[in-house]
Structures are given as structure tokens and as C-alpha cells.
Amino acid sequence: MVSSKDVAKYAGVSQTTVSRVVNTPHLVKEPTYRKVMAAIDELNYIPDGNARSLVQKKSDTIALISGPLYNPFFVETTTSIVNYANENGFKINVHFSNDENIEEIYNAIFEKKVDGIILSSVLLEDPVFEKLEKSGIPFILYNRKHENNKNFVEMDNEQAGYLATDYLFSLNHKEICWIGGPTEMSTFKGRYDGFLKAFQQNNAAINPEKIFIGKTSKENLYQTFLKVEELSEKPTAICAATDAIAIQMMDFYISAGYKVPEDISIIGIDNVKIGQHASINLTTVGISSPIDLGRIAIEKLIKMIQQQNKPCVQITEAVRLFERKTIIKKKKEA
Amino acid sequence: MVSSKDVAKYAGVSQTTVSRVVNTPHLVKEPTYRKVMAAIDELNYIPDGNARSLVQKKSDTIALISGPLYNPFFVETTTSIVNYANENGFKINVHFSNDENIEEIYNAIFEKKVDGIILSSVLLEDPVFEKLEKSGIPFILYNRKHENNKNFVEMDNEQAGYLATDYLFSLNHKEICWIGGPTEMSTFKGRYDGFLKAFQQNNAAINPEKIFIGKTSKENLYQTFLKVEELSEKPTAICAATDAIAIQMMDFYISAGYKVPEDISIIGIDNVKIGQHASINLTTVGISSPIDLGRIAIEKLIKMIQQQNKPCVQITEAVRLFERKTIIKKKKEA
DNA sequence: TAAAAAAATGGTTACGTAACCATTTAACTA
DNA sequence: TAGTTAAATGGTTACGTAACCATTTTTTTA
């Protein structure tokens, strides 16, 4: 491996000067600069990022802990986070969390000297939050938040759940299923609370049989689908806590011979891109802003890093309904 | 920042012993081990990965250069690559390439001491290949390959193009559009060659007006869609070089009021998961193996790293047709 | 129980870089 | 032109770790 010392010897200057050519060329005379650059090219020198990080205690790297990509929401946020960071001179270390490998991920992150952390995978009462704060590394949560309400960029989850559910009521749906993930996560908790609120405001009674809260893997959702099928009184509409869930349920229903929305109405939350596809046309609730949550969060994080201050970011984006074609209007009952 | 020296002092042992407790605990007596571990916990010590990489000249890290996630193919390969690597003790540094930011990506990769590189973004005649070989770092290409036919895991692209096109012919389609990316990429070249071969074998003449080769961004594909619309003789079927293209074209067609496959048949290549969704049901060609190309490639790469040898991996996976519902059988003309 | 072997621990060093301070060289200034 | 200041370059060090070799302690063996 060619080091700056090798370059220095080859060019007949000191290692210090090589370092200057690489990092602060304006401090170096033109002929010296050319001499050193020639040596760098000749020897194919590439600075060692590890050594640099060691001495500088920073890495121009941000760690991203994203949810799994089978949820298209994270496909979009990951893309926009990576792109924005790169445009601003930061590299991104992406980690995909399934909420089980969190421990390893944090080890990996803290071992490298990342300049910041942007993450979604956090529980409302997650003890890891304290660890993050103690580490002193700037960080921000996107999508989900922690119960202590610090450093997050989220959508108005309760309002989202409310809007989705209320929209179903407005189209005369009464028998509504809720399918969502564990309420230990702020997204699911907020959205479910909104769902409940809509029932209250519409003077409707919750039927516990129609509430499905559990893991959101394909297998689990299929079990849920089967349970819904077995209900004596089937729902006319499904309120899914995320578009990913909604799209998966659509798949089950259509594969089983049902028609959406004629046989069953489905609404999601997130306003994911693939839901806008003409073949899917998922009615959903999402943020009004054209910029996604990941992008908003990474902007804030980079500002925190560059300005070396750590304000408490608290952003709750407003949401609105996106009417598309997976909901049908029911006839009013007598 | 707490270092191993701090731990050593606190525990009353040498730094060397701390290092041993962390890396080779069997070389350390039980009471010493406990003493040091207590100190580690107490002081919240985390080894510095940069310093470690510096001295060890390795990082247990593999760089992944993936195509953009708006292509669902890369969503799946990225997921399986990251998961498999993590299961085997490697971290993954993901980079998303748009074939333009390649330079920066390579800089970033070579600055850190990655143990291996797995990449898709390479052109047939890419000069970067030589750079890779010279670096001495084990690497493997997945999806695409280089003209020199070294170190790749691909599908049988020509056969894929052939099967897709021949299937259209077998259902009496004559007016077939090809929509694909630049043939500087082995995938597009191979698939297009297969397309041509199918025309030959079916004694059909290529109509240059119906060949669209260019960038595969949404905007470009929309321009292509408009051009197809303006053709005096419209195609009855579209052979898309990738599922991503096919799914995008479906969106344009359906949004414009067409029905797929009644008004236009569409076939893709890749057998991407979202294409299997009941709302899309994209007929396509994909590898017969249930394990995706990324997964196959990362397995090989990790073997190369662990066994410290660099065999020339050349894998071309067999493909087959996946009949679904975006193709209609045409009536035979008189 | 003394000698030999094995196990456990410690001391010193290199890894490649940038920070820091020292020195030399060039450019002004009076 | 000497004196002063600024610009350019060099020398030395620390960063935190594991490799390597040296030393001490323990265990085994005769």
C-alpha cells in the first residue's frame, strides 16, 4: 500500500507537504504542488481514510438505520437520504434493521466514528435512546419517534389514522378492520389512536374482533387475512396502518378472487410511490409536503453536524387524503 | 473518548491484555477477564474500528455498488446481499450508482480498506475494471458483466430476451416494440441480441421505428411512450428489457386509458417481486433459481475473501418464462 | 523438589494520517 | 539594504489499536 510517506520520498518533499497538497493545496507553491501531484498519480496514491478518521476523529460519514426495503416507504426515504447526503459531501453507511439486529448495528456504528446518525428504528420506550444521547453524536429520528419527544421528523400520525378512518365513515362504511403493527412504535400507536378517535367522533363502537395488531411480515399478514375471512360478519373496508400493509392485503384479496374496491375497500397510510401506479391506485393518507420525511430529516442532521450545535428538532408534518381507487361508496343503510 | 489504555489503567492491567480480552479471551485468565470486562462496562468502552482497520489492514466490510432503488430489482438484491453478509460477520457499505457518480464512489471505497467489492454498475468496456483488478481487492460483478468475462454472476440475458420475444411471436404478435437501455451494458446488450435472434428465427423483419434504446428514467420512458403513441402502425406488444421498464410502461398505458393486455401486451425481464402482485401480474422472464443473483454473488465473494484466493467466477444462470397476465393471444391473421 | 514446559501478562512498536510547532525562504517595507 | 512580515516547507507527535517479542507466573514432568 502506497502511503503519503512514499509519495513524499518520491517527490522529494516532506510527508507534511504531501498532506497539504491533498487537503490544503492553497498553502503550497505551484511547482511543489505539481511535483507532488505527479508523484501521487505515478504511485497511484490514495489516502487512507481510516488513518485520517483516527487522527481527525471524524469521517464525513453518516449512519442510516433504515427499516427493511420490502416496505417501499423505506425505499424512498433511503434513496433521498443517500442522495442528499452525497450531494453535501457525506457518505452514508446504510443499515437495515428488522428491530432484532439492532444491537449489532449500534456496535458497528459506534466503532466507526460516524459524524451523525439518522434512524427510524426506534421504539417509543426504547432504552437505546439514552445510549444515543450519551454518545454525543448528533442524531435524528425520522418516521418514528421516542416517547420523550426529542429530535424527530414524523408525519401527524394520529391525524393520518383519523383522516383515513373518517373517510371510510364518510362513505358509509361501518364494518371497518384495522390492521397495524405493534403500538410500541409511535407510527402505529399514533395511527391507531387516530383510528379510535374517528370511531368516537362518528359514534361508532369498536369491534375488537376487527382489530388486528401484530407483526407486519407477509406471513403474519396472511394469517390476519385468513382470520378476517373467518369472521362471521365481514368488514366492508380495511384501514391499513401503512401502504405496505394495504398493498399486501390487496394482493391477498385479489389473489383470492375478490375485487378491490367492489368487494372490499382498502385504505393505507404513507402515500408510497408504488401505490400511485395505475394498476394499484391505492387511496391513502400522506404528508402534504412534496419532500419526504427522510429528506427533511437528513437536511436537519447535516445542519446540526456542520454548525456543531444540537437543537431539539421536533417536526410533525401535516397530512392529507389522497383519493384514488381502492375505496367504494357504500349505500346508506335504512 | 474512552480508549483501551483507559480501560487498562482502570482495571490495573496492560493495554495488551485489554486487547486480548476483546479479541482472544481464551488467552486470558478468568479473574483477569472479569476484571477487564467490568472496566469495559463501567467506562463504556467501545473499540475504535478505524484504529483497528489501520493496524489490521482490513475492516470486515464489503462495499456494494448497487443500481438505484427505483428499480425494484436492486431493492431485492440489496436486501439479500446485506442480509447474507451480515449473517456472515461482514458489514456492507452501500453505494447507489446512477452511472455518473461512479468516480466519487470508487474514491470512497478505496479510501476505506474494504475487504471486498460487489457491484453491478459496470459497462461492457468500462475502464474501471482494470482499476478494480489492480487494486488487489477481491470483487465480483452481479447482474452486469464486463467484456473480458471475468468475475460475474448474471442471468442468461440473450436467452431471456429470446424467450420473451419468442413468447410474443408464439401468441401471434407481429408488431413488437423493444424498449431497453443502452447496449453498453451487458444486460441490455444480451437481451436485445436475444430479441433480434427471436425475430430472425421467426423470419420476421425488424422495424427500426419500433426499437427504442435510451435512458430508462421515468422521464425518458414517458418520451418513448409518446413516440410509440405517434407511430402510424401501433405495436400489439411491448418487449421491455426490464421489469422496471415494463411496470413503468404499464403505468403510462393504463393512465392513458388503455387496458393491459386487451389493448397492449407487455412483457418484462427480471421477475421482480412487485410484478407478482395480483394487481400487476406481469408476465416476465427470470432466473429459474429461487436464489437471486445478488445472493449468489455475495456468497462467492465472501468465499473469496475467507479463502484468500481469487478464482475467476463465471456464472450464467438459466432463465425461464413466468406466464402471468399482461400478454394476450392475438388471432391469427389470414 | 528442581527443571522444563506451558500459560498468562507486559512492553514496545508500527499502522498512515493531520495537528502543531519550528524553521527556512520569499516578499515587503522603511 | 537591512529589517520586518508573510509564505512555504519541514520535523515531530498523537490518534487507538493489534502484532510481536519479552518477561513473569503457573503448571507439568522427571
* AA letter at B248: Q
Task: Considering only the beta carbons, identify the residue of A69, A104, A112 that sits closest to B79.
Answer: A69
Q: What is the pTM of this model?
A: 0.94
- Per DSSP, the three-state class of B147 is coil
Average predicted confidence (pLDDT) for chain B: 95
Angle at B166 between CA B163 and CA B171, to 5 degrees: 125
DSSP collapsed to 3 states, chain A:
CCCHHHHHHHHCCCHHHHHHHHHCHHHCCHHHHHHHHHHHHHHCCCCCHHHHHHHHCCCCEEEEEECCCCCHHHHHHHHHHHHHHHHCCCEEEEEECCCCCHHHHHHHHHHCCCCEEEECCCCCCCCHHHHHHHHCCCEEEECCCCCCCCCEEEECHHHHHHHHHHHHHHCCCCCEEEEECCCCCHHHHHHHHHHHHHHHHCCCCCCHHHEEECCCCHHHHHHHHHHHHHCCCCCCEEEECCHHHHHHHHHHHHHCCCCCCCCCEEEEECCCHHHHCCCCCCEEEEECCCCCHHHHHHHHHHHHHHHCCCCCCEEEECEEEECCCCCCCCCCCC
Contact across the interface for A44 and B134, Cβ inside 8 Å: yes
Nearest CA to CA, how far is A75 from chain B (Å)? 6
Give residue A333's pLDDT. Answer: 66
State whether the beta carbon of A19 lies below 7 angstroms from any atom of strand C.
yes
pLDDT of residue A143: 98
What does the pLDDT read at residue B277?
98
Q: Which of A79, A92, A255 is opposite residue B278, by nearest beta carbon?
A: A255
Q: Hey, are the CB atoms on A50 and B48 less than 8 Å from each other?
A: no
What confidence score (pLDDT) does residue A334 get? 53
For residue B226, CA distances in Å to A221, B87, B223, B229, B264 come to: 40, 47, 5, 5, 15
In this structure, the dihedral spanned by the alpha carbons of residues B104, A63, A272 and A171, taken in order and rounded to 10 degrees, is: -160
A255–B274 CB contact, under 8 Å: no
Q: Which residues of B255-289 are buried (b: 16+ CB within 10 A; e: fewer)?
A: eeeeebbeebbbbbbbbbebbbbbbbbbbbbbbee
**Residue labelled with grid coordinates 437481451:** B191
Q: How far is the CA of A22 from the C1' of D8 (A)?
A: 15
Tell me the mean pLDDT in the region A229-258: 97
Packing angle of the helix pair B293-307, B72-87 (nearest 10 deg): 30
Average pLDDT over residues B265-270: 98
User: Do A21 and A43 form a contact (C-beta atoms < 8 A)?
Assistant: no
How far apart are the CA of B254 and the nearest CA of chain A, in angstroms? 6
Give the closest residue to C7 (Cα–C1′). Answer: B27
State residue B103's pLDDT score: 84
In this structure, is the CB of residue A43 within 7 Å of any atom belonging to strand C?
A: no
- Chain B residues within 8 A of A93 when measuring between CB atoms: 91, 93-94
Distance CA B135, CA A2 (A): 11
Residue with cell 427505483: B70
Contacts with A51 from chain B: Cβ below 8 Å = 50, 54
CB-neighbour burial class of residue B319 (10 A; exposed 0-12, middle 13-18, buried 19+): buried
The answer to whether A36 CB is within 7 Å of strand D is no
Q: Give the mean model confidence (pLDDT) for residues A23-42.
A: 96
A16 touches strand C (CB under 7 A): yes
In chain A, residues with a C-beta closer than 8 Å to the C-beta of B274 are: 274
Strand D at less than 7 A from CB of A14: yes
Contact criterion met (CB < 8 Å) for B110 and A54: no
As beta bridge partners, residue A139 has: A117
**Residue B84 near residue B298, CB atoms below 8 Å:** yes
| Average pLDDT for A322-332 | 94
Task: Please tell me the distance from the alpha carbon of residue B36 to that of residue B88, in angstroms, as a whole number.
Answer: 28
Which residues of chain B make contact with A84, given a CB cutoff of 8 A? none
* Chain A 76-105 residues whose Cβ is under 7 Å from strand C: none
Nearest to B115 by CA among A50, A196, A135: A50
Which nucleotide shows the minimum CA-to-C1' distance to residue A48?
C16
Strand order through the sheet with A176-180:
A211-213, A176-180, A237-240, A265-269, A283-287, A319-322
Distance of A107 CA from C21 C1′ (whole Å): 37
In sequence order, what are the beta bridge partners of A320?
A: A286
Option in B46, B111, B251 nearest A49 (CB): B111
Which residues 230-249 of chain A have a CB under 7 Å from nucleic chain C?
A: none
Cell numbers that stand for A301 in this block:
442532521
Residue B314's alpha-carbon distances to A74, B286, B317, in angstroms, are 33, 18, 10
Other CB atoms within 10 Å distance of the CB of residue A329: 11
- Smallest CA–C1' separation from A55: which nucleotide? D15
| B93, B111, B251: residue with CB nearest A278 | B251
Bases of strand C lying below 7 A from some protein CB: 7-12, 14-20
Task: Tell me if B75 and A75 make a contact (CB, 8 A cut-off).
Answer: yes
Shortest alpha-carbon distance between residue B178 and chain A (Å): 22
User: What is the mean pLDDT of the segment spanning A41-50?
Assistant: 96
The pLDDT assigned to B310 comes to 85
| CA of A61, C1' of C14: distance in angstroms | 26
Can the peptide bond before residue A72 be classed as cis, meaning omega within 30 degrees of 0? no
Nearest protein residue, CA measured to C1' of D26: B29
Kindly determine whether residue B93 and residue A96, on different chains, have CB atoms separated by under 8 Å: no
Beta bridge partners of B179: B212, B240
Distance CA A250, CA B196 (A): 38
**A127-182: pLDDT as tens digits:** 989 989 988 999 999 999 999 999 999 999 999 999 999 999 999 999 999 999 99
Among chain B residues, CA nearest to A256: B278
Strands (E), B13-151: 61-66, 91-96, 116-119, 139-142
Partner-chain contact A251 B278, CB within 8 Å: yes
Euclidean distance between CA atoms B135 and A111, whole angstroms? 26
| Residue B334 pLDDT | 53
Is the C-beta of residue B27 closer than 7 Å to nucleic acid chain D? no
B90: nearest Cα among B318, B324, B304, B328:
B304
Residue nearest to nucleotide D25 (CA to C1'): B29
Pairing status of strand B283-287 against strand B237-240: unpaired
Half-sphere exposure for B97 (CA within 13 Å, toward CB): 21
Kind of pairing between the strands at B139-142 and B116-119: parallel
- pLDDT by residue (tens digit) across A200-213? 999 999 999 999 99
Q: What is the pLDDT of residue A308?
A: 82
Can you tell me the distance from the alpha carbon of B155 to that of B143, in angstroms, rounded to the nearest whole number?
7
Domains in chain A: ranges and CATH:
4-56 (1.10.260.40), 61-154+290-317 (3.40.50.2300), 157-287 (3.40.50.2300)
Is the per-residue pLDDT at B294 higher than 90?
A: yes
Q: How far apart are CA B307 and CA B288, in angstroms?
A: 29
User: Is residue B308 pLDDT above 90, yes or no?
Assistant: no
User: Residues B54-87: pLDDT tens digits?
Assistant: 999 999 999 999 999 999 999 999 999 999 999 9
User: For the residues B144-157, what does the mean pLDDT come to?
Assistant: 97
First to last CA, chain A: 82
> Are residues B282 and B266 in contact, defined by beta-carbon separation less than 8 angstroms?
yes
Q: What is the pLDDT of residue B141?
A: 97
Q: Looking at beta carbons, which residues of chain B come within 8 Å of A54?
A: 48, 50-51, 54
- Chain B interface mutation, best of A3, A41, A45, A50, highest count of B Cβ atoms under 10 Å: A50
Residues of A in contact with B253 (CB under 8 A): 278
Mutate to test the interface with A, among B55, B106, B277, B282 (most CBs of A within 10 A): B277
